[in-house]
Amino acid sequence: MEVHSLNTVKLLDSKPDSPVAIYHAALLEASSIRGNNLNSAIQKRFFKIKEPIPSKSVLTAAENDFFTQYIERNQSLNTAENYSRLNWEQSRIMRVIYNRNHKVSLAMHDYAYTGGSFGLKQTRFLVYDIINERELKLKDLITEDSLTRLNQMIGRKLKQDLGLPMDESLINHGYYYADIEASDNFYLVENGLVFHYNNYEIASDKGETDVLITWEQLSGLLKQGFR
């Protein structure tokens, strides 16, 4: 895969002490003709682009949008007392998590500070079937009547990771829900599926959370022929 990257710094105005905005991004592109569908899936999943465009243009368009918002939202606030919150930053870094058995897991790590008390971080994943040239959703892997069992597995595994008794409610430990539902924001690894929950999705102060369910545990839940 080819890597396209951008690293740009722009001043808010021409003053010597002007606030600045920083944009840093790295995008992976499948270089073969057969990779066109993968590139389209990347653009749709990570950049919400429905009609594919050249990969180099993806980062340029995202960069222009970031700096346009920076100027429009901050020009009227550009006074010394606001400077500490006018130094915007966005970092969008894509990487390969898994690439075996004709399937690939890609991650997009996205961090943005656009004023306020702190920045926001999230990670999204794309699982792609290279042979059939399509993105894989959870419904493509797990039978519908197995979802309840999968949710129970995720809840038990999270309790195990936290060192909690199985009969203890997650709600008592800062989580929003007693049961954690499987998410389409998952990725493949060598020994199973990892379900990823970003900040504030399942709790307010737990950060990003990964829950691994092994292939052995998933035996009987997977659709026939997936592996």
Domains of the chain, residue spans:
2-135, 138-218
pLDDT at 227: 63
At 134, is the pLDDT very low, low, confident or very high (cuts 50, 70, 90)? very high
Across the chain, what does the average pLDDT equal? 90
- Alpha helices, DSSP H only, in the chain? 36-47, 55-74, 138-141, 147-162, 215-218
What DSSP designation does 122 have? Answer: E
pLDDT at 226: 66
C-alpha 172: how far from chain center = 28
pTM: 0.90
Instruction: Reply yes or no on whether the pLDDT at 61 is more than 80.
Output: yes
Our CA dihedral for 199, 201, 204, 209, rounded to 10 degrees, sits at: -60
At 16, is the pLDDT very low, low, confident or very high (cuts 50, 70, 90)? confident
Q: Is 2-135 in CATH node 3.40.1350.10? A: no
Architecture of domain 138-218: Alpha-Beta Complex (3.90)
pLDDT at 191: 93
At 78, is the pLDDT very low, low, confident or very high (cuts 50, 70, 90)? low
What mean pLDDT comes out for the span 90-103?
A: 94
For the stretch 186-205, pLDDT in tens is 999 999 999 999 999 999 88
Beta-bridged to residue 89, according to DSSP, are 22, 113
pLDDT at 6: 92
pLDDT at 17: 81
pLDDT at 33: 67
Instruction: Reply yes or no on whether the pLDDT at 90 is more than 90.
Output: yes
pLDDT at 151: 94
Q: Is 62 helix (H, G, I), strand (E, B) or coil?
A: helix
What mean pLDDT comes out for the span 77-92?
A: 82
What mean pLDDT comes out for the span 122-143?
A: 93
> What are the φ and ψ backbone dihedral angles of 82, each rounded to 5 degrees?
-100, -5
What DSSP designation does 173 have? Answer: G
pLDDT at 116: 81
Strands of 186-189's sheet in order across: 186-189, 192-197, 209-214
Angle, helix 55-74 to helix 36-47, in steps of 10 degrees: 10
